[in-house]
């Protein structure tokens, strides 16, 4: 089974998302973060289930979609996946630093 590693960038992104949504509703902030975290569990058994991120055209950098959020991850090895960032789809991905 694959180990899923959340990078510090991805953790910071989750906190920022939660803080933003919390301004309107703590309940929906918790729900959205839970959806994002739950979605990544598929990677434990289906490591290539997401699509290749079009902006990078690198088969090792893929993404899962949850609502308006893109969960960008990298296949580091056969046993490890790094969650690189959680990115809102309205923003320009090419301006992100990984």
**pLDDT tens-digit profile, the chain (98 residues):** 789 999 999 999 999 999 999 999 999 999 999 999 999 999 999 999 999 999 888 899 999 999 999 999 999 999 999 999 999 888 877 776 66
Query: Is residue 69 situated within a structural domain?
Result: yes
Cα(70)–Cα(58) distance, integer angstroms: 16
Structurally, the chain folds into a number of domains equal to 1
Query: Is residue 94 situated within a structural domain?
Result: no
Here the tokens at position 78 are 């056969």
User: Cβ–Cβ contacts within 10 Å for residue 43, how many?
Assistant: 21
Query: Is residue 42 situated within a structural domain?
Result: yes
Q: The whole model's pTM is what? A: 0.90
Query: Is residue 97 situated within a structural domain?
Result: no
Within 1-98, residue ranges assigned H as helices are: 8-22, 26-40
Query: Is residue 96 situated within a structural domain?
Result: no
């Amino acid at each position: 089974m694959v180990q899923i590693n959340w990078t510090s960038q991805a953790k910071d992104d989750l906190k920022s998302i939660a803080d933003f949504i919390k301004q309107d509703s703590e309940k929906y902030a918790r729900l959205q973060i839970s959806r994002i975290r739950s979605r990544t569990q598929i990677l434990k058994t289906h490591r290539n289930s997401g699509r290749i991120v079009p902006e990078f055209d690198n088969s090792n950098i893929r993404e899962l979609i949850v609502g308006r959020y893109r969960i960008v991850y990298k296949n580091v090895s056969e046993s490890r996946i790094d969650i690189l960032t959680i990115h809102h789809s309205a923003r320009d991905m090419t301006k992100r630093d990984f």
